[in-house]
Structure 1
Amino acid sequence: MTDMNETGLADSAESIQFNETKINASNDLTDRVMTIQKMLTENGADVPAAEIEEKLKNLTEIFKVPAAEAQRSVTNAYLKKFNIAKPKVFAGKGTAVTKKVADISAMAGLPDTWVNLTGKVIQVWENSHESIAQAGLVGDETGIVKFTIWNGSEIEPLELNKTYDFKNVIVKSWNGKAGISLNKAAVVTGSEEEITVVKSGDYAAGEMKERVNEMRTVSELSQNGLWTDLKANVVQIFEKTHESIAFAGILGDETGTMRFTVWKTSEVEQLEAEKSYLFKNVLVKEWNGSFFIEVNRAGKIEEIDEEIIAKPSVFEVCGCAVDIQAGSGLIRRCPECSKVMAKGMCSEHGRLKGKYDLRIKAVFDDGTQAHETIINCELTEKLLGMSLEDAVLTATETLDPECINDIIKNEFIGKYYTVSGAKTDRYIIAENVERAESADLSKAVWLKSLIAEELSQSSQPGRSEEEESNADSTEMEKIENFSAEELNDISELAETQEFETPSNSDFEKFEKMLNSMDSDAGNADDTTDESEDEIEEIKVI
């Protein structure tokens, strides 16, 4: 459930207040006037009762607004006029129920709930994320629970071993446990109440109990929120992208590979690529349909003297090439970081002379899903029958950097290929691409027949079932014959044109043209190459 913001909480609170007010018909207006006036007086605003009454009458008698809604509107108008914050007025009124820590712990897995509680801070943790102001443990005589204070809450840091009254805090569930979250709507004040905190649940003096998990392989880790142990080889360690991350990369065993993230709170100090480790008490998480391992403060990593060979997880698809995306063909990369350049500029290293590269960003449709695929230089050269050097010479001779892209489109679009490689959240990083052979013809025929069938049905919706069946059979024969002929037609270039070595002036013209045309491909890459670093990281799989 999404957190309510400050205004949402206040609106909810005032709605409950107004609608729960027990007012009979005779003193309805008077009581509402007195309620508004009292609230304003408590917050330093002096408004005559007659003025409030007039505003309420205008809404209820002239505009026929319900009395409770009229009270809400008038109240909000005065709050805005005198710059009175809603949480200051409504905090803790009618929305949150006072609970003990044991009651809060029992709410794990339930929808988010607003509560009040009194508890003693027994532990304060080092900040693990830039959006968190403070986190730790708070307890009472019934148990211990985690608290998180978010930035923007305007709550002063809590002191260790001090007791506080917490009002309007949210009970949220995470990893099967309940904790309290404090945002702008929360109010925290010091308390003189003496509390003796006892050990409770999974926490003992702020430390988590040792969890007993099953040892699993990478291929078995496909359940979000699963705690597990596993032995794996660290295939690759990525460059750090966030201050709260200690290590991130790819691990694997004989059943496959997957990503992992080790948070700094885990206190893991040493981790090296190409070494094997025992990952204990780690958490399986899911994001965008992909699973990865997360190691937090509850997890441990121990180096082991075992040879574990990581087997790449290979994804394979047979489909029709339906699009060649911008950023295909002849491109230039930064010689420092290998990122794709735009207008002769690298986003990291500025303007410099780039190195040429050849690639294809294709979309293959298997009939049920479109798969964005990146094909590297080596495979592109093989598929086009053209080397990188030949591509540069061709583009320079014609003074048309897009001519290579046109060649790719003419060669690929509408033809079927079998593609295999590593699968990221968005792309297939191709390791092998081949025209669909006889073993794949049945797949292609089936896909085309499905498309033909749908088109046939949609074009003539009024046909009888018998006519529909006969037409489908005839159409299927045509499609099958056409598909077999098309897919068996693996043609070579009819002729290869030889080019003279271009002059320096021709090459300079080409360079200038490429710089000017890079903007289009560069803009397109702004949306697709955000994953470029991720792609390079995954490429090792």
Structure 2
Amino acid sequence: MIKETAKQIEDRFSEIGFNIPTSEIESRLEKLLNEFKVPAEEARRSVVNYFLKEYNIPRGDFYTQQGNTPTVKVKDINADGKWINIKAKVAQLWDNNHESIGQVGLIGDESGTIKFTKWASAELPGLEEGKSYNFKNVVTNSYQERFQINLNKSSQIEEIEEDIEIGTEMIEFIGAMVGIQAGSGLIKRCPQCNRALIKGVCGEHGKVEGTYDLRIKAVLDNGHNVQDTLLNREVSERLTNITLEEAVHMATEALEQSVVVDKMKEQLVGRYYSVTGPRLDRYILIETISPLPPLERSQIEALLSSMEV
């Protein structure tokens, strides 16, 4: 990845008339990524900014897009380092505690979904789940063989009235619930953008008086694959028989919100479930979940027998 990223940076500098030795670019990237554990895209930006300053190159020269920026669908994003426009709806905003990232999550159109990262330094307007936007001058990026888009200072965001339908792939999965992740149970959300608060702080709007919500971030395992899932308030209430009001009461009495997720873990972890819902990135957004009875000894023996060579 270091050599590929370094080559892309070198090529772009070369296009605007500056020859930067590849070895210097690779050396800086390697130090940031491997020694300081900086995220890949942030390392890339840091290296580019270093050489812009070192050679006194205006940022606009480096980040100027060539020709007309095409408007594309999610399914058409298949190359790294391309400037595009895209109309999409915000499907999810993810929890984020990295200072350099303003917002991160998923956007989508009728052709699918894709991860986005909006850098804090871009000083762009905040995004809200469920709203549709016209994203202009965003740049594609590839990480771990998955494409994503990044919003920087050259990008623009325009909210649009159109309610964009997000195309999704429906999934059925059967497995044991082997864990419930942090950020589950009784949580608080920002009343302005709906993102989950971290210690009472919204990454976009700072310290706010949040509104309570319930969710479960569960991990299912079928013996071959591990699957991350998300259960919203309604599904969580049906599965656990704990309503939002009861969860707030439990936390108030115990003076501790964690009692809710502890109760959920006690009820759910170690049991088998059949779930269905749309796939968004690495998650299944569970719409239906049905507990399955424990396997009988005869079923276990039959399974073991079928696995014998």
List aligned pairs for 1:212-231, cutoff 5 A.
215-225=71-81, 227=82, 229-231=84-86
Instruction: Please give the alpha-carbon distance, in whole angstroms, between the structure 2 residues aligned to 1:393 and 1:242.
Output: 32
Q: Secondary structure at the match of 2:287?
A: strand
Say if 1:217 and 1:255, in contact at 8 Å, map to a contact too.
Answer: yes
Residue deviations 1:42-78, cap 9 Å, x none?
A: xxxxxxxxxxxxxxxxxxxxxxxxxxxxxxxxxxxxx
Cα distance, 1:323 vs structure 2: 1.4
Structure with higher Rg: it is: 1
Contact 2:171 2:277 in 1 (8 A): yes
Structure 2 distance, partners of 1:402, 1:451, is 37
Letter aligned with residue 254 of structure 1: E
Q: SS where residue 378 of structure 1 aligns?
A: helix
| Contact in 2 for aligned 1:365/1:371 (Cα 8 Å) | yes
Give distance in 2, aligned partners of 1:264 and 1:395.
34
Task: Report which of the two has the higher share of strand.
Answer: 2
- Where does 1:157-236 land on structure 2 (aligned, <5 Å)? 208=64, 210-211=66-67, 215-225=71-81, 227=82, 229-233=84-88, 235=90
Amino acid at match of 2:237: E
TM-score normalized by the length of structure 2? 0.53
Quote the residue 1:255 is aligned against: 111
Does the C-alpha gap of structure 1 residues 450 and 264 become closer, same or farther in structure 2, counting only changes over 3 Å? farther
1:290-329 equivalences in 2 (<5 Å): 290-295=146-151, 307=162, 309-311=164-166, 313=168, 316-325=171-180, 327=182
User: Does structure 2 conserve the Cα–Cα contact (< 8 Å) formed by 1:279 and 1:301?
Assistant: yes
What is the aligned partner in structure 2 of residue 432 from structure 1?
287
The 8 Å contact of residues 186 and 260 in structure 2, kept in 1 or not, is answered as no
User: Residues 396 and 258 (structure 1 numbering): CA distance in 2 closer, same or farther, change over 3 Å?
Assistant: closer
Q: Which residue of 1 aligns with 2:235?
A: 379
Question: In structure 2, what is the equivalent of residue 420 of structure 1?
Answer: 277
- Counterpart position of 2:224: 368
> Take 1:430 and 1:237, find their aligned partners in 2: how far apart are those partners?
11
Q: TM-score, normalised by structure 1?
A: 0.34
Q: How does 1:378-417 map to 2 (within 5 A)?
A: 378-390=234-246, 405=262, 409-411=266-268, 413-417=270-274
Distance 1:207 1:335 in 2: 33
Contact 2:229 2:286 in 1 (8 A): no
State the 1:334 CA deviation: 8.1
Query: Do 1:332 and 1:340's aligned partners in 2 also have CA atoms closer than 8 Å?
Result: no
For 1:379, what is the secondary structure of its paired residue?
helix
In 2, Cα distance between the equivalents of 1:283 and 1:264?
16
Amino acid aligned to 2:197: K
Do the aligned partners of residues 210 and 365 (structure 1) sit closer, same or farther apart at CA in structure 2, a change above 3 Å counting?
Answer: same
Assess if the C-alpha contact under 8 Å between 2:133 and 2:158 holds in 1.
yes
Structure with greater contact order relative to length (CA < 8 Å, sep ≥ 6): 2
State how far apart, in whole Å, the 1-side matches of 2:220 and 2:286 are: 15
User: Matches of 2:275 and 2:225 in 1, distance apart?
Assistant: 14
Question: Could you give the per-residue CA deviations for residues 435-475 of structure 1, whole angstroms, max 9, x where no partner exists?
Answer: 279xxxxxxxxxx8997368x54xxxxxxxxxx4xxxxxxx
Gaps of 5+ in 1: 4-100, 116-127, 136-146, 150-156, 161-202, 438-447, 458-467, 469-541
> How do residues 336-355 of structure 1 correspond to structure 2 at under 5 angstroms?
339=197
Is the contact between residue 421 and residue 430 of structure 1 (CA under 8 Å) also seen in structure 2? yes
Mapped to 1, the partners of 2:151 and 2:211 lie a distance apart of: 39
Distance 1:412 1:294 in 2: 36
The CA deviation string for residues 250-303 of structure 1, in whole angstroms up to 9 with x for no partner, is 54332233344466998x9789875653735x4321235543223567x66596
**Compared CA separation, residues 2 and 291, structure 1 to 2 (3 A):** closer
SS in 2 for 1:216: coil
Q: What stretches of structure 2 of length at least 5 have no aligned partner?
A: 4-12, 26-42, 293-299
Residue identity (%): 21
Q: Distance in 1 between matches of 2:124 and 2:248?
A: 47
Contact 2:141 2:149 in 1 (8 A): yes
1:218 and 1:256 in contact (8 A); partners too: yes
Whichever residue aligns with residue 309 of structure 1, its letter is: I
Distance in 2 between residues matched to 1:391 and 1:295, nearest whole Å? 37
Distance 1:397 1:433 in 2: 31
Q: Structure 1's 158 and 224: CA in aligned 2 closer, same or farther, altered over 3 A?
A: closer
Q: CA RMSD in A?
A: 5.9
Mapped to 1, the partners of 2:231 and 2:143 lie a distance apart of 25
Q: Which residue of 2 aligns with 1:452?
A: 304
Q: Please give the secondary structure, in 1, of the residue aligned with 2:72.
A: coil
How far is 1:321 from its partner? 2.2
What is the CA-CA distance between 1:307 and the residue it aligns to? 4.0
8 Å contact from structure 1 (residues 251, 310) kept in 2: no
Residue 242 of structure 1 and its aligned partner are, at CA, apart by 8.1
**Tell me, what secondary structure is at the counterpart of 1:232?**
strand
CA 1:332 to 1:230, structure 2 compared with 1: closer, same or farther past 3 Å? closer
